[in-house]
């Protein structure tokens, strides 16, 4: 059984909808070989990342950058996972009311340092809330889980 870790910051009803959609996508009924663990950055510790075969980060953009709790996740875990998790398949979605580029740039820079491997381009959910966002995030969850299950990554 492989483990897909989703570390999701969901401070609002809309971002909770995104988190639920991601989990639903990763737990698609056709996918049997993946254990999906979806949790907040605050409760995530280095061992969670060490035990993961793939990771999805979901964050809001606040004040031009990733949410503080998402940054704190990297601050706390970076060195503990650096050696062992190079090549970890990763994906990102950002819920941004206005922009999202500062968050994308910041996380891309950290992922480069960690040498994780993008298996999907970052998904930026920008502007006014749009119900199609949930479908996009659900697809991302399914794509990651199916890719891990089938050994594509």
Binding site for ligand FMN (CB under 6 A): 12, 14-15, 60-64, 95-100, 129
Residue with Cβ nearer ligand FMN (12 or 84): 12
112: CB partners within 8 A, 6+ apart: none
Q: 47 or 108: whose CB is closer to ligand FMN? A: 108
CB of residue 91 to ligand FMN, shortest distance in Å: 18
Residue 55 CB, nearest distance to ligand FMN (Å)?
Answer: 20
Residue placing its CB nearer to ligand FMN in the complex, 49 or 140 = 140
Q: Cβ closer to ligand FMN: 35 or 99?
A: 99
The backbone region for 130, taken as left when phi is positive above 0, alpha when psi lies in -120 to 50, beta otherwise, is beta
Query: What minimum distance in Å lies between the beta carbon of 128 and ligand FMN?
Result: 8
Contact 120, 90 (CB under 8 A): no
CB of 113 to ligand FMN, least distance (A): 23
The closest residue (CB) to ligand FMN is 97
Distance CA 2, CA 22 (A): 17
The full DSSP string for 90-152 is EEEEEEESS--HHHHHHHHHHHHHHT-EESS--EEEESS--THHHHHHHHHHHHHHHHHHTT-
Between 46 and 102, CB nearer to ligand FMN: 102
Q: How far is the CB of 136 from ligand FMN (least distance, A)?
A: 14
Q: How far is CA 54 from the centre of its chain?
A: 9
């Amino acid at each position: 059984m492989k483990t897909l870790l989703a570390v999701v910051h969901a401070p609002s009803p809309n971002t909770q909808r995104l988190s639920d959609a991601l989990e639903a996508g990763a737990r698609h009924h056709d996918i049997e070989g993946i254990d999906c663990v979806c949790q907040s950055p605050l409760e995530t510790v280095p061992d969670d990342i060490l035990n993961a075969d793939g990771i999805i980060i979901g964050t809001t953009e606040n004040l031009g950058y990733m949410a503080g709790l998402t940054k704190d996740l990297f601050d706390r875990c970076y060195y503990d996972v650096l050696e062992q998790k190079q090549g970890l398949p990763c994906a990102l979605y950002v819920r941004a009311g206005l922009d999202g580029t500062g968050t994308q740039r910041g996380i891309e820079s950290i992922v480069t340092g960690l040498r994780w491997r993008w298996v999907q381009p970052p998904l930026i959910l920008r502007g006014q809330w749009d119900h199609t966002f949930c479908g996009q995030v659900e697809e991302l969850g399914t794509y990651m889980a199916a890719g891990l299950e089938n050994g594509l990554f």
